[in-house]
Amino acid sequence: MFFIVGIGLGDPEDITVKGLKIVQNCDRVYLEAYTSILSCGQESLENFYQRKLILADREMIEQHSDELFAHSIVKDVALLVVGDPFGATTHTDLILRAKEKGIPYQVVHNASIMNAVACCGLQLYSFGETVSIPYWTDSWKPDSFFQKILKNQQMGLHTLCLLDIRVREPTLESLSKKKREYEPPRFMSVSEASQQLMEIIDKNPSEISENSLVVGLARVGHKTQLIVACSIKEMTEQDLGPPLHSLVIPARECHPLETEYLQQFNLVKL
């Protein structure tokens, strides 16, 4: 059997009882380590699960998944995913490949940022399409996600912005070499995302301005969770600490209960 187990957001104990039993009984347990990260780290997971974990990086998941499936034919193999297994299309693709090979699979769900974002007080059924904000380079500055934010705004919906994660990304110089070299890990902050939004706003005036309200979330589900609500311009100067960060752009008109709940997160000096 091939198991994909969601392990939650911020603590080793976030795994479900069902998921923990699977992890402790499997012959091999992999930890997917590129679509997200867990604040507690791999060692804490291993101590709590009482199992050694095999780190599965991007290359293994996307290019060498046959290794996962080969062992699944004769043994029970689990792939641990931060949040929920269906929080990333990568895992949907894995399941499709398992089905093609006739390998039985089982999915164990858990909390993810897609539903835990409600911790800021904005109601889940009032969220529109989720967008991803990628890191820019000097020569590549995609901004198509901004049109989706505007569309949500026009429909009176909130937008959850997932911020870029770059783990074990090969350097451009090494792509043509036999030996790969990798960039240092980077995790986009709400400050960096807001700076990119400011640049888009300057070039494309719209109903979203530098004074529009945004909500910054850091390490949701962890004991160090932090939430700050302020303008986009003010968010460019905020340091919410270590990853992971997410950014929410609320609808122009919020429900009175949403507004009341958000007030507790009004900008304070960090």
Predicted pLDDT of residue 65: 72
Q: Regarding the domain delimited by 114-264, which CATH topology (the fold level of the hierarchy) does it fall under?
A: 3.30.950
Predicted pLDDT of residue 269: 42
Predicted pLDDT of residue 21: 97
Predicted pLDDT of residue 125: 96
**What's the length of the chain?**
270
Q: Supply the pTM of this predicted model.
A: 0.89
Predicted pLDDT of residue 146: 97
Tens digit of pLDDT at every position of the chain (270 positions): 999 999 998 789 999 999 999 999 999 999 987 666 766 778 889 999 999 999 887 777 776 777 778 778 889 999 999 999 998 777 888 899 889 989 999 999 999 999 999 999 999 999 999 999 999 988 889 999 999 999 999 999 999 999 998 876 666 666 667 677 777 788 999 999 999 999 999 998 889 999 999 999 999 988 899 999 999 999 999 999 999 999 999 999 999 999 999 999 997 443
Tokens at residue 105, please? 């699979």
Domain ranges of the chain: 2-111, 114-264
Predicted pLDDT of residue 270: 37
Query: Which residues lie across from 132 on neighbouring strands?
Result: 162
Predicted pLDDT of residue 89: 75
**Residue 63: CB atoms within 10 Å:** 9
CATH of 2-111, picked from 3.40.50.1860, 3.40.50.1360, 3.40.1010.10, 3.40.1800.10, is 3.40.1010.10
* Separation of alpha carbons 148 and 244, rounded Å: 22
Q: What percent of the residues of the chain are helix, what percent strand, and what percent coil, each to the nearest 5?
A: 40, 20, 40
